[in-house]
């Protein structure tokens, strides 16, 4: 049953909103606006190979710059490997609990091999930041498609950026060759008590939507409004309040990066030249 646009917008923004829904409301829009992070999974419910294939087909249906398809993904089902990856990703136990962990990769190795097989003496174009950026964009688009597909099948997901805390150890665990880099993970499984997982409000559209040209100062009151809305959400969930403080903690000091301040060195070690 498709959720109404009024309900979808209210949940997504945490309050009644003046956003006008389109003339036609679809199940796809309702599914997108109802996205929530799921970190508790039913351990005995596996994700079938047929479902995995459908998720990858959805991922491959995402846009890709120049049809270069500069991404790959490793499907991890082995319990011991998921536990090791959970440790590398900051002791996040839900990675071990979920029956399927997808590690999404920026992949320039395949393009370099194809270029070499075509007779080019080097793949010099893959040495530049542009190539790395293309691969990161490609893999993000693909993974989002897979996540939406999983949710449409009644599965729960959550993205895990913390695998970038110790990316070279993740690369070793997954046997990644040079020119392949782990960008983020995605847990997939059957949610345990999904009704307890709420839709987290996002910033008002006035804080992110700019018309014709970007403007920073007018965002301030909308960010302040959002702080109040999200604090209400956090209080109901029993979480510490203070969204702005969380942002400041993340970017205020190098410590907030939790090891990711070394990503450039890790990319270089994996063969990404970044010229």
Whose CA is closest to 114, among 98, 130, 126?
Answer: 126
The answer as to CATH 3.40.228.10 being correct for domain 37-196 is no
Beta carbons within 8 Å of 207's beta carbon, 6+ residues apart: 219, 222, 223, 226
pLDDT digits (tens, 9 = 90+) for 81-118: 999 999 999 999 999 999 999 999 999 999 999 999 99
Q: Which two tokens stand for residue 120?
A: 């080019």
| pLDDT greater than 70 at residue 46 | yes
Whose CA is closest to 71, among 116, 48, 103, 115?
Answer: 103
- 159, 143 Cβ separation under 8 angstroms: yes
Q: E strands along 1-70, which residues?
A: none
| Global confidence as pTM | 0.93
pLDDT given for residue 218 in this prediction? 93
Mean pLDDT of 44-68: 95
Mean pLDDT of 241-264: 89
pLDDT given for residue 125 in this prediction? 87
More confident residue, 273 or 122: 273
pLDDT given for residue 28 in this prediction? 92
Give the number of other Cβ atoms within 10 Å of residue 8's Cβ: 21
Mean pLDDT of 170-188: 98
Q: E strands along the chain, which residues?
A: 71-76, 100-107, 156-160, 180-189
Question: Nearest 5 degrees, angle CA 160-CA 37-CA 24?
Answer: 125
Q: In what order do the strands lie in the sheet with 71-76?
A: 71-76, 100-107, 180-189, 156-160
Q: Which two tokens stand for residue 209?
A: 């939507």
pLDDT given for residue 237 in this prediction? 79
């Amino acid at each position: 049953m498709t959720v109404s646009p009024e309900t979808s917008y209210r949940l997504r923004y945490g309050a009644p909103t003046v956003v006008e829904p389109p003339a036609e409301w679809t199940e796809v829009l309702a599914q997108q606006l109802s996205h929530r992070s799921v970190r508790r999974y039913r351990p005995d419910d596996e994700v079938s190979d047929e479902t995995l294939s459908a998720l990858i087909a959805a991922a491959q249906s995402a846009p890709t710059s120049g049809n270069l398809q500069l991404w790959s993904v490793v499907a991890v089902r082995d319990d011991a490997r998921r536990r090791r990856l959970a440790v590398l990703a900051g002791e996040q136990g839900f990675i071990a609990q979920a029956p399927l962990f997808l590690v999404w990769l920026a992949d320039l190795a395949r393009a370099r091999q194809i270029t070499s097989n075509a007779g080019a003496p080097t793949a010099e174009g893959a040495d530049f930041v542009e190539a790395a950026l293309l691969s990161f964009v490609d893999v993000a688009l693909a993974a989002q498609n897979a996540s939406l597909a999983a949710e449409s099948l009644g599965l729960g997901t959550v993205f895990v950026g913390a695998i970038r805390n110790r990316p070279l150890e993740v690369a070793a665990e997954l046997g990644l060759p040079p020119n392949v880099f782990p960008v983020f993970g995605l847990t997939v499984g059957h949610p345990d008590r999904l009704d307890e997982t709420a839709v987290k409000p996002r910033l008002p559209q006035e804080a992110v939507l700019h018309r014709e040209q970007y403007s920073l100062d007018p965002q301030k009151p909308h960010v302040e409004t959002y702080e109040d809305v999200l604090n209400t959400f956090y209080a109901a969930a029993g979480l510490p309040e203070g969204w702005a403080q969380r942002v400041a903690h993340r970017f205020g000091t190098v410590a907030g990066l939790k090891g990711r301040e070394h990503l450039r060195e890790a990319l270089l070690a994996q063969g990404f030249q970044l010229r």
